[in-house]
Amino acid sequence: MIATKTRSKASDTRYEMGRGASELARYTVLVTWGLVALLPFVLMWSSAFKTSKEIYRDPFALPASLSIDNLVRAWTVGRFGNYLGNSLIITLPTVLGVLVLSCLAGYGIARYDFKGRKAIFLLFLLGIMVPFQSVMIPLYYNLRDYGLLGTYGAMIFPAIGLGLPFGIFLMQAFFRGLPDELADAARVDGCDEFRTFWQVMLPLARPAMSTLFVFQFMWTWNAFLMPLLYMQKEDLRPLPLGLMFFQGRYTSDYGLIAAGVAIATLPVIVVYILFQRQFIRGLTAGALK
């Protein structure tokens, strides 16, 4: 009896030691990967506060003093204020359009059984597989015929269309996972179909909407090829396009270029920080039952 208890304790001790070693290795890998991912951001922001001489002398050293001269010059000389406004004018309507249309279409496909539902959903899935490079030339002629070239609409309308396949796929998967009893209870209480969607089902879809919001904001904000082709006027350039011309103009001033990149990436970082909890909840929704 005593020998059995001794072996059991020894086995438990080995199990705990193995479990502790496994967790240590896991966290070591995660921390190492986190540091590797954060290193470019640290170098970018530290270079934004340094002069070119400091960067040439030691690019990995911290700035001697926190000077915002590079940020001010990038904002004024580089016209980043104008580029930022253009990006907001493009991104906000695009994200709002994708969210509204994806929620409506995703809910209809997930909750209603109508003829051709699967075929329509498959057509939207095909849209995920079609790269923008394969449609950019015919899209150019379509925008030209509609008189949209050189306007904000040349970016907003195609971006909404290209974002809908993923948005509908994400939202219908989330709505399909919601219990049918919720909608039935709402109908018993006198709600029509739209009130059931708006007041009952849509509030429960906030995690998925936050995930779609972050993804679509990031994709639209960082879009480069589409505005390069369809918005060639300098006054309409968004941040990624303005950053390219800015970098070509100040090639040797690394501190100024780092300041421009920092300004361009700051809104995406802020949006992710604000929505990170809902974003993670949306990604993991349905993973565990």
Amino acid at 53: K
The CATH number of domain 75-284, selected from 3.30.70.100, 3.40.1390.20, 1.10.150.20, 1.10.3720.10: 1.10.3720.10
pLDDT of residue 157: 93
Q: Phi, psi at residue 98, to the nearest 5°?
A: -65, -40
Q: How many CB atoms lie within 10 A of CB 208?
A: 27
pLDDT tens for 18-66 read 676 777 888 888 888 888 888 888 888 888 888 777 777 777 777 777 7
Cα–Cα separations (whole angstroms), residue 221 to 106, 155, 175, 253: 24, 11, 27, 25
In this prediction, residue 12 carries a pLDDT of 57
Express as a percent the part of the chain with pLDDT over 70: 88
| 6 pLDDT tier (thresholds 50, 70, 90) | low
Q: What is the pLDDT of residue 164?
A: 92
Q: Is residue 15's pLDDT more than 80?
A: no
What Rg do the C-alpha atoms of the chain give, in angstroms? 25
Q: Which residue has the higher pLDDT, 10 or 76?
A: 76
The pLDDT confidence band at residue 269, using thresholds 50, 70 and 90, is confident
Residue 271's pLDDT is 84
Question: What whole-number distance in Å separates Cα of residue 280 and Cα of residue 276?
Answer: 6
pLDDT-derived band at 73 (thresholds 50, 70, 90) equals confident
Whether the per-residue pLDDT at 89 is higher than 90: the answer is yes
Angle CA 187–208–238, to nearest 5: 130
pLDDT value of position 118: 86
pTM above 0.75, yes or no: yes
Residue with tokens 């974002």: 163
Task: Quote the pLDDT of residue 289.
Answer: 42
Please, what is the Cα angle at 148 between 146 and 154, to 5 degrees?
A: 125
pLDDT 10s digits, 134-156: 889 999 999 999 888 889 999 99
The model's confidence at residue 167, banded by pLDDT at 50, 70 and 90, is very high
Which pLDDT tens digit goes with each residue over 181-231?
Answer: 887 788 877 778 888 888 888 888 888 898 899 899 989 998 888 998 898
Could you tell me what percent of the chain has a pLDDT over 90?
Answer: 18
Model confidence over 227-265: pLDDT tens digits?
988 987 888 889 888 888 887 777 777 788 888 888 888
Name the strand (E) or helix (H) holding 277.
Answer: helix 254-284
pLDDT greater at residue 16 or residue 272: 272
